[in-house]
Amino acid sequence: MIVAVDGPAGSGKGTVTKRIEKELGFLNLDTGATYRCVALQVLRENVKLDNEEKIIKIANNINIKIDNTGDKDIILLNGEDVSKEIRTKEVTSIVAPISSIIPVREKMVEVQRKLATGKNVIVEGRDIGTVVFPNADLKIYLDASEEIRAKRRYEENVQNGINTTYEEVLENVKMRDYNDMHKKVGALKKANDAIIIDSTSLTIDQVVENIKKLLI
């Protein structure tokens, strides 16, 4: 079974998919990790970002697997555990331009579909139900008001010692929404057959329970 969860930043997608993974034993397929593997290999081979031909070749030739047999998912790049290395700031700084290269994106969608074959998978993103898994068994669009998403992000910042104002975070949320909806590749879009869950007035527990009911 494949469950696709799309929605704007701050709607709770990441938290919800991790809970479903833990409570129901689903594989939480981290699509971003596949692009991070490409980025890591680009760094390792000292390829410049304007050399799209070489980056596309790397995307086509690397082998990416996810080992979810243990307590934590392990990301394997050509057989090597790179779970920590793909999260470095160096990798993070080049993921966006690499993921916007259309042939790279097409190849990673192919990889993601292979990783999901024969498994119970929950996947979150912006275009999961429309592009990556258009035939998903269950499609959810998790939404929340701009104000509540900004409030959640602001509270996270406070807890993490990040000095911002609520107004700054709200403006950032609005800008992120606009950018995500107007991306040339991988734009945020609700699938026509997606079930909308508005988490504005719901707790994470309530959202998780609503999804569980849909899976029964």
Q: What class has domain 1-26+120-216?
A: alpha beta
Fold of 32-118: Rossmann fold (3.40.50)
Task: Report percent pLDDT > 90 for the chain.
Answer: 78
Give dist(CA 175, CA 170) in Å, integer: 9
Q: How confident is the model at residue 71 (pLDDT cuts 50, 70, 90)?
A: confident
Of the candidates 131, 28, 121, the one whose C-alpha atom is nearest the C-alpha of residue 75 is 28
Beta pairing class for 138-143 and 27-29? unpaired
- Over its C-alpha atoms, the chain yields an Rg (Å, rounded) of 17
Token pair 């470095």 is found at 88
- In 3-state terms, what secondary structure has residue 89? helix
Q: How confident is the model at residue 37 (pLDDT cuts 50, 70, 90)?
A: very high
Q: How confident is the model at residue 9 (pLDDT cuts 50, 70, 90)?
A: confident
Which residues belong to CATH 3.40.50.300 in the chain? Answer: 1-26+120-216, 32-118
Token pair 């700054």 is found at 168
Can you give the pLDDT at residue 122? 95
pTM for the structure as a whole: 0.86
pLDDT of 213 over the 90 cut: yes
Helices (H), 25-101: 31-44, 52-61, 89-99
Can you give the pLDDT at residue 54? 98
